[in-house]
Structure 1
């Protein structure tokens, strides 16, 4: 699998996954927080459309994707401190991708064994998706939506790596090391905070506006976001929050990603805007739509595989839609 294709694809997937709004909920006033009960099960569907425009040594490397992912979140227990233990299981996934390596469509519910045949790059990506189906991680989440710990991340990494390297065994160590930059407790905590809400203390009323500065991606992949939210309305037990955010990945060398001798600096800025709907009773996110737009450059130092290094301008535009409902 070409290294630059893998890096760009994983980066794009992370941005899509991180496109959940993070909000401080405060309405005559409401004080939103997670009020979950053991046995509750929620189904969530995430659909992401994304266009990535890139240029490598004068050659366009555009990637267009549409991805749909189903997940189940089951509340296993809630302790005396109202910390919920939640088991999140990946369900079916659909993906369409157009890239310089070709076109791929894949549906875990109706897998086609000939999909991406004889194309190592696309075959590896297909294998990553198929390996996730049925995988679970367990997390502890407090009433403010903050994660307090995980179980199952290493097992998930091992399963993804094993499946992705079926077609290219020599790439196993590189793939696993790269995935660890994106799938670790720091980054998973940031993403799950968006999924389950991030509720700062203090109530808010309709029309109130508040700001927060949030870091996505953890220490290995820092993305600073300056978020402005407004409680738009509370109707039929649902709170609607409008949000916009500025994104800044910075330019300092302290934000370099280094793995297996490869140094990569992602210099990206952009904006997010959209809305989210939250069930007032449970604090659960029921609907969200976020559009994102980013511009910048990926810079990679020279390596034996790329003796001249790489500088690649990049533009990312997309939309992430989340719907969720309690099914038990």
Structure 2
């Protein structure tokens, strides 16, 4: 009888532990800095007028997030790029840009250097949602205005291009894609929750992610996610490379994320993405009559907290 009772108690304890509710959330300390180092590898395949045009791109960067203030529901943070680098294999040859490159004749290296250690502010909820990004455009403007040798028209083109990647809207959506994985409510192991994001930049898209708490360890929450991405086909054309373009793309993403229990900060993450569709270039002086061509993008992104 005692053995039966003990077995019953152990079984009840196991079930209770399995269904234990937890609330993964940011628990950051005012004055402390937290880091996100990211490495991304992408392959873009395009076929334009029957000619295959592939681009192999690697990006690595590091960002710091200093907690300036905290209230009951929000974190106010000073954010800096501390390092940015890019390597591209193009049909015309290879290029590389790095924020550590001090070559003043390389405009892209100067841009990479120009966006590092230029703080902007971010407001985050305890579940990692980005409420707002401020001062990003000022960072871009002050940097481009410092290029005295660049003609005014070229400066405006650079500002437009950089805003698509580093403006407030683009930064907000990119940071949310990287950090917005935590649930809004308590969850148990194997529970799922859905997060919807709007991706902004040269390509506008809606992302719907379904995350699942797959494991709880003494130090971490282990989260798996599956997502679908689809561009907003009702959106108008955007200026990309000085031409009006529209992306008609859809695809999937798979994410595996480890979250530190003590801070709620992402310890590590891996993301795989596959999207394809078409790109429309509207009639313009560079492409008379316009052009539509197929494009696919496969990418793998890894992030760590150091």
Give the TM-score range, shorter chain.
0.7 to 0.9
Deviations 1:69-116 (A, max 9, x none): 01111111113x34211111111233221113321233333x2639xx
Match of 2:246 in 1: 265
Pick 1 or 2: higher relative contact order, CA cutoff 8 A, min separation 6.
1
**If you compute each CA radius of gyration, which structure gives the higher value, 1 or 2?**
2
1:320 to 260, 281, 301: 301
Q: 2-side partners of 1:265 and 1:304: how far apart?
A: 17
In the TM superposition, structure 1's runs of 4+ consecutive aligned residues that sit over 4 Å from their partners are 162-169, 259-262
CA 1:56–1:171: 2 relative to 1, 3 Å: farther
Aligned positions of 1:175-186 closer than 5 A: 175-186=158-169
* Alignment deviations for residues 134-168 of structure 1 (CA, whole Å, 9 cap, x no partner): 22211121213233333321222214544789567
Equivalent residue, structure 2, for 1:274: 255
**1:57 offset after TM fit, Å?**
1.9
Q: How many angstroms does 1:171 deviate by?
A: 2.4
Please provide the CA RMSD for this pair: 2.7
> For residues 283 and 192 of structure 2, what CA distance do their matches in structure 1 show?
46
Partner residue of 2:51?
59
Query: What is the distance in 1 between the residues matched to 2:103 and 2:81?
Result: 21
Total equivalences in the alignment: 287
**Cα–Cα, structure 1 residues 255 and 124, in superposed 2: closer, same or farther, change >3 Å?**
farther
| Alignment partner of 1:134 is 2:117 | yes
Distance 1:163 1:295 in 2: 38
2:154 corresponding residue in structure 1: 171
TM-score (norm 1): 0.78
Normalization by structure 2: what TM-score? 0.83
Is 1:41 aligned with 2:23? Answer: no
C-alpha displacement of 1:256: 2.0
Alignment of 1:1-328 (within 5 A): 28-79=20-71, 81-109=72-100, 111=101, 113=103, 123-159=106-142, 161-162=144-145, 170-217=153-200, 221-251=203-233, 254-259=234-239, 262-325=243-306
Hey, what's the Cα distance between the residues in 1 that align with 2:164 and 2:60?
Answer: 23
Unaligned runs of 5+ in 1: 1-26, 118-122
**Offset of residue 181 of structure 1:** 4.1
1:126 partner SS = helix
